[in-house]
Structure 1
């Protein structure tokens, strides 16, 4: 369909003779008000995008973030460094390159090329951030490699590991290409999260004069970076205990109950706090980038789940809770001892030995860890219910408009500018990528001695699940900014179909869940490029190159650490003060036992210990209904609509590996900045908040790497003293309190 405009301010004609006033917002701009207020409707197609500067700074950002995030992924405090850090830091570097690189032009393959095509521009900056975004998003398959080598203590073919990392990340391109027309080109799929990025890009590229008596954004970033860099030497080398200070344990040194209440790492964390930025931002990401209403929802969920329900369940001895630690992600047998997985797992076939399992014990979990699976069940159904009730009509209306717009090829001003000024990515590029990655995935699983255990039909079933859910979940994310996870569904499906095989379970989950998640990340980035008027082919090349480089860097970093850090992921054998405790990988490993070795049939039905957890599916489905009814009855009370049951229910989703002290410090810092600073010093907040977050992250990251390469890799782990212990000095918090349970280092009741 073509749109013909009779004059600059007159009317447009669409098929059927309908005439539209060009001044109408929904035709001449965007039908979404938030987009109209944020995204400019101008474009200069002559501005270069995929330049030499883009490649250099993009690949540098991608490699740096991938290395740092994987490096921190194995540490006790897993600092996540987002692409915002690179987004801020590359701006002065790009301008420096524009001033210093030669401007001479060359002829290469019939095209003009220059190392310095002019001033550093916004489109280059966006593409560099796309590269950086690839490096900031973790490679989920690395968890599989880690548990095989560090927890199951088995060898793994390096090529199989490398191709697993690549194929799981690249498979999502296929789904992205299939649904690009609906989720990117449609003006009604507006991806709210991208508007924050657009605002930040515009703020960074607006001309800035140093305020009188103040500092520019870059000067402020540099000052905070230096302070963060200098301070982190204390918690990373001299005084690791400063990351979690639990005073209650120091006062009542011989009381198990007091330490369960006071421990920030293994208990309720009452009175516990940390003086380390990585404690604040490690698992929940930076609190400075989180909206205020999210804190209120999460605080309510945290208090209800962790401070009310968990103590009631534990001290009421629900499911023999007192036989096990108050807070632990480990697995246990019926006597309260660690579950001997090697006893029920045939080491030759790496499959469950049912005879040994039946003669040994059912699998037991700490009451809190068992309940986290129930809350994850509830979170999935609550998200579906919440979206259907609060956004269902809007999503359906937008989807009808999207279908009509796609059929008639009618888009908003952004879509028309993109189609007019740039050549689209051919659909066959995505089709070839999809066919190659499906074939590669099957070969990786069936080849290399079938180390990953997943048969070819399992790969195809995982692909079918990802294909089925990408569009509906993409619509939800593109309109509400919420993404329901498929990890529970994929674990359940393969756990019932192919029980007893731990690696098959986690591999299926990775191909089924992560390929969909990657597809939505690609589509979100494509929409950002759509708003910023980046040539689609340049976007595709940057995303593909960034994914390949990031996957390779994540894999290389993990393989290097797994083979060079002695006893990595084994706290009982690590030297005092060592940070290489792998808390997230331990949770992933235990999940492979629960869902893979034992399986949902022997865990969450009458054959296991936790069949009641299935009621959480219904609980989550019903939870948003009272809030929705109240919002309908009292439509003028806007605060009711801010009550988000999926957020409340999912508050403790990363706990473990996150601990009480991480949540408490995250709430403290986040609420202070989101409410007090935002309300009382809004101008300062608007100018410095995100820059402060990026600088703190960057300072911690570079200090940790420097300390590791110069000291810790040479066996120098800091002075031997009380503060060198990376725990919170609450050893009794891990002890059971049931009578007769014998655990080393614990009193027997």
Structure 2
């Protein structure tokens, strides 16, 4: 019996012994209940291609991140590119084993056919390179905005410790968020589907296409079309016809603008408009999308208009849809008036003379809803999933816990020992304490701030992970961490952002690690191989992100300062500008002067109470009337989590339209087509956009060769009045003064 026959027999045995009892239909339709334990995983090809992919993506994402048109290069590109490279190495490298002198250990450069498990591990390494490093923002604002110095060792340790801290939480909660069949991580199914398309031999259906053929057609079509919205006709990303019809009407433009208003009738003919902020709607479950749609309609089309036109918090002095800070006269807030440049501390005298910080009404409500979302996450998970988590805790001692995929993994592979995670967690916490205590003058955060941030991340990783693993949407800790440290340690902007990074970023890193673990769970990757690859990828990516940022910050003159940069220079750092302003508002001015007794928006704190109580009625109805299945599908944290920055109305319009069509019309009426093509379609659209964006940037835009000069080249919906104040007497540049 040859090797292929042995593998076929193993697959047959798995299929014969195990019934696919996964409770999630989308998983049953996408993930095969088979495994081939004989496939090599951690091969020379895995490490060679994986490290190169990780390094290249890390460099490109940080390099593009400082530029005016920031570009995110996802791991999907590496997932596609490494396949022919792996096949080429399979055909050309020698198969002879190389023996390490003095040991029994040997390896082969070419252990056999390039297989799917190698491909998965390479993609996970690449994914580490495509995930942004939050701590680089701290380095950037210190050097480019505050114009001071930070020791390179402090910067490197900060980068590594904030990225690695999430491993500890991933290890603590993997039993609940990976082994449980109810935690199905919808976004991973896109990658599972693409892997199967690229590797599995498939007989072409009569009159149809194989999945690989379908993927290539989508990829080529998406690639070819994206040159239009990306280069020739950028205004096509947001078309607001109402503004074009009523060019001089403030109200009409506010109603119709897809970028600065309610977006009634606005749409975009660009996949990036659909998926850039909210992720692919094809990978989001239908019930989660309905929750978001209901919340969006209530907040954006009911609460916001009432609040704005009732002039709550002087809302009509400022733009309705804006996420900036303002002075009382409607002009942008000048933070230099309240900042002591020498000590980076709050200037009370300057603040008293200049005035309080004002926000647009949507910004105020976005903060209030973020308070409510976080509180509702804890309440929702305890009420709806608390008993399940407790049962899973007890069932974890049972070897039969889980579905077919969990049983296959336990049968064929050794798990990662829990002490690996515990040891790494202790080491990284120690490294974080050493970093902040050793460089406290530069980072401002004392040891107790690290301990508090670690505690917050450990508390919220499980509830946020449950929400994300079931809905593909999540809530962050950035606002609550800024709020807490802003009250406890006010007047220190760098301490605020460092605390936020250790608290919020470590939680999201844990969720990223858990998502990768779930992908490995579905693809039957040995858990220990997953652990080693994730750890190596995180260290490599963090180092390259740091090195790239340090190189640019020390070589590009006036980087991140548009007022001093040469005309046409792309190094404007738009994302870091937001990060910098957050450090001023929350760290310098402080939450007490915004949401406390000294601020204008203290009533927003009632949103915490609202968030805690909001899930209770639906939980009660689900227990009282179990036949009402819809009550269990109401997810308050997701329902009240939108709208929020930086997503615009046109993004929501297109995301909901595409998502509802595929999740309800196609899924219900053409389920066989959906099962074969839905996730392939998503991956092909993403990959085509990414490839064309890189090509345009490197060949044309990077050399200042832009498209033809005409009104359609602007990245704007041509609704200038939508962002103007609506009461008489306010003089704002670019807006007419209402008499």
TM-score by length of 2: 0.86
Conservation of the 8 A alpha-carbon contact between 2:143 and 2:553: yes
- Partner of residue 322, structure 2: 328
Equivalent residue for 1:391, pick from 385, 395, 402: 385
Query: Is residue 2:120 matched to residue 1:126?
Result: yes
**CA 1:733/1:471 → structure 2, altered by over 3 Å: closer, same or farther?**
closer
2-side partners of 1:496 and 1:367: how far apart?
A: 23
**Which has the larger displacement, 583-592 or 375-384?**
583-592
Gaps of 5+ in 1: 1-22
Shift of 1:608: 0.4
- Partner of residue 315, structure 1: 309
2-side partners of 1:729 and 1:76: how far apart?
A: 20
2-side partners of 1:32 and 1:613: how far apart?
A: 42
- Partner of residue 47, structure 2: 55
* CA deviations over 1:570-629 (Å, ceiling 9, x no partner): 788999999877665454343323321121211112210001101111212222233334
Question: Where does 1:546-625 land on structure 2 (aligned, <5 Å)?
Answer: 546-556=537-547, 558=549, 584-625=575-616
Gaps of 5+ in 2: 1-13
Equivalent residue for 1:727, pick from 711, 716, 728: 716
**Which has the larger displacement, 597-606 or 199-208?**
199-208
1-side partners of 2:241 and 2:67: how far apart?
A: 24
Question: Where does 1:166-181 land on structure 2 (aligned, <5 Å)?
Answer: 166-177=160-171
Shift of 1:57: 3.2
Q: Secondary structure at the match of 1:440?
A: helix
- Partner of residue 266, structure 1: 260
* CA deviations over 1:659-678 (Å, ceiling 9, x no partner): 11111122222223223333
**CA 1:682/1:318 → structure 2, altered by over 3 Å: closer, same or farther?**
same
Shift of 1:503: 1.8
Query: Is residue 2:284 matched to residue 1:290?
Result: yes
Shift of 1:208: 0.7
1-side partners of 2:713 and 2:147: how far apart?
A: 28
* CA deviations over 1:394-413 (Å, ceiling 9, x no partner): 222222333x44xx999988
2-side partners of 1:481 and 1:303: how far apart?
A: 20
Question: Where does 1:674-689 land on structure 2 (aligned, <5 Å)?
Answer: 674-689=663-678
Equivalent residue for 1:514, pick from 505, 512, 519: 505
- Partner of residue 17, structure 1: none
Equivalent residue for 1:104, pick from 86, 96, 104: 96
- Partner of residue 8, structure 2: none
Query: Is residue 2:432 matched to residue 1:438?
Result: no
Shift of 1:635: 3.1
Shift of 1:237: 2.6
**CA 1:747/1:560 → structure 2, altered by over 3 Å: closer, same or farther?**
farther
- Partner of residue 657, structure 1: 646
* CA deviations over 1:359-416 (Å, ceiling 9, x no partner): 22111100110110100111112222222332232222222333x44xx999988778
Conservation of the 8 A alpha-carbon contact between 1:191 and 1:524: no
**CA 1:427/1:380 → structure 2, altered by over 3 Å: closer, same or farther?**
closer
Conservation of the 8 A alpha-carbon contact between 1:79 and 1:285: no
2-side partners of 1:212 and 1:578: how far apart?
A: 54
Equivalent residue for 1:696, pick from 661, 677, 685: 685
Shift of 1:51: 0.9
**CA 1:612/1:745 → structure 2, altered by over 3 Å: closer, same or farther?**
same
* CA deviations over 1:210-241 (Å, ceiling 9, x no partner): 33444333333333323322322232233222
Equivalent residue for 1:165, pick from 148, 156, 159: 159
CA RMSD, aligned part only?
A: 3.7
Conservation of the 8 A alpha-carbon contact between 1:185 and 1:411: no
Conservation of the 8 A alpha-carbon contact between 1:246 and 1:272: yes
**CA 1:684/1:86 → structure 2, altered by over 3 Å: closer, same or farther?**
farther
Equivalent residue for 2:731, pick from 733, 738, 742: 742
1-side partners of 2:554 and 2:258: how far apart?
A: 31
**Which has the larger displacement, 223-232 or 477-486?**
477-486
* CA deviations over 1:133-179 (Å, ceiling 9, x no partner): 32343222233344445555555555543432222101222344455
**Which has the larger displacement, 564-573 or 86-95?**
564-573
Question: Where does 1:93-492 land on structure 2 (aligned, <5 Å)?
Answer: 93-108=85-100, 109-149=103-143, 151-152=145-146, 156-177=150-171, 182-183=175-176, 192-193=185-186, 196=189, 201=195, 205-402=199-396, 404-405=397-398, 422=413, 425=416, 429-447=420-438, 450-470=441-461, 485-492=476-483
Q: Secondary structure at the match of 2:106?
A: strand
* CA deviations over 1:521-569 (Å, ceiling 9, x no partner): 3244335435544333322220112112322344455556667888876
1-side partners of 2:645 and 2:707: how far apart?
A: 28
The count of residues paired between Structure 1 and Structure 2 equals 719
2-side partners of 1:155 and 1:735: how far apart?
A: 39
